[in-house]
A = this chain, B = another copy of it.
Amino acid sequence: MTIDKAASGVLPEPPEATVSASQRERLLTAAVDLFYRHGVGVGANALCKSAGISKKSMYQLFDSKDALLVAALERRVLADAAFLLPPPDFGPGPRARLLHVFRQLEKFARSPEYMGCAFLAPQVELKDPAHPASLVAARVKRQHLEGFFRTEAERGKATDPDFLTRQLAILYDGASTRAGIGADDLQGLAVTTAETLIEAAGITD
């Protein structure tokens, strides 16, 4: 972008702005990692130290720690969705597309770094559905995961698409949480359980 502007005769951005953009990036990267590993209670000091920036810079970049938490959740959405959801050109029908999510979840759970759903934990920790981060986390789950379940349940002509959506959301949240706390490694469990529920809902393909 800077090169293009320079080439077109526009002055390059002043060094200060460039530093801020890279600081913002470092802070967001640190925030995604630390909030996930340690929870929403991570302090501003730890965030700044990990990002290698000053507290003053942090508050120039984000109005509050809550605003940084919201931005960190939004930053994480695309990576998680790309891993969990099948690509648009994924061949098979609704049943296989739904099962793909739970196959990926079992893979997620194999990683020693896996600590459960990054959007569920903040809601459990904050205990306040009206908190900006709870609102964003709940919206992300509704749009990306429950929305996907519902679309496929409808395409697969489930007896009751809303009901199957609720069931798969509970399965996803229960499985991811138990993997996150180390109570279950999910291997051989998430996909098979999803299969049972999908079949009971009348989806055959």
Residues of A within 8 A of B (CB): 37-39, 41, 115-116, 120-121, 123-125, 127, 129, 134, 138, 141, 163, 166-167, 169-175, 177-178, 180-184, 189-190, 192-193, 196-197, 200
Contact = CB atoms under 8 A, between A and B. Distances in A.
Contacts of A170: 171, 174-175, 178, 184, 189-190, 193
Given A39-B125, A167-B193, A170-B193, 13 more contacts: A120-B181, A124-B180, A124-B181, A125-B125, A138-B181, A138-B183, A170-B174, A170-B184, A170-B189, A171-B171, A177-B177, A196-B200, A200-B200
A177 B115 contact: no
A128 to B, nearest CB: 9
Number of copies: 2
Q: Is the interface of A mostly helix, strand, loop or mixed?
A: helix
A141 B177 CA distance: 14
Contacts of A141: 183
A166 B180 contact: no
Given A163-B189, A196-B197, A196-B200, A38 B175 contact: no
Contacts of A37: 127
Contacts of A182: 129
Nearest to A189: B166
